[in-house]
Amino acid sequence: MARNDRELEIQARNESACPSVRSFNEIGEIWRLNILHALMDEEMRFNELKRATNARSRTLSNALDSLRENGYVDRRSEQAAPIAVYYSLSEKGQALKPVFDELAEWADQWIDGASADETEP
């Protein structure tokens, strides 16, 4: 079996086995996660997001396009001079807030804090 065929087979098996894998495939790329996190509390303009995520313009633009296509981020334009474009979380994106909160709690305990060996049950 060719390498690409094998990779596709593994990906298909993993995606059908676990909804979490499908979720991470959709939002798990580092720039997408950074954008979603930055937008959790407020809408932001492109340059504000660029500063908040430290992403390059092209990277940010591609990630925003992907998040918009998948329904996580909304885009709003104001035509008054100067033209302003704002990004915010859609209802679907806002539904991730508890997930981010739980993941942050987990990271505090298992990554940033004590290791599993040092933590009492």
Task: Name 59's Cβ contacts closer than 8 Å, sequence gap at least 6.
Answer: 31
**What pTM value is reported for the model?**
0.74
Beta bridge partners of 88: 74
Query: What are the CA-CA distances from residue 101 to residues 37, 83, 92 (Å)?
Result: 10, 34, 16
What domains are defined for the chain?
A: 28-112 (1.10.10.10)
CA 96, 100, 105, 111: dihedral to nearest 10 degrees?
140
Digits of tens for pLDDT over the chain (121 positions)? 456 787 777 777 766 667 776 777 777 788 999 999 999 999 999 999 999 999 999 999 999 999 999 999 999 999 887 889 999 999 999 999 999 999 889 889 888 765 545 544 4
Q: What does the block give as tokens for 16?
A: 């059908």
Upper half-sphere CA count for residue 94 (Cβ side, 13 Å): 9
Phi then psi for residue 95, to 5 deg, are -65, -15
Q: What does the block give as tokens for 26?
A: 């959709």
Inter-residue contact 72 to 90 (CB < 8 Å): yes
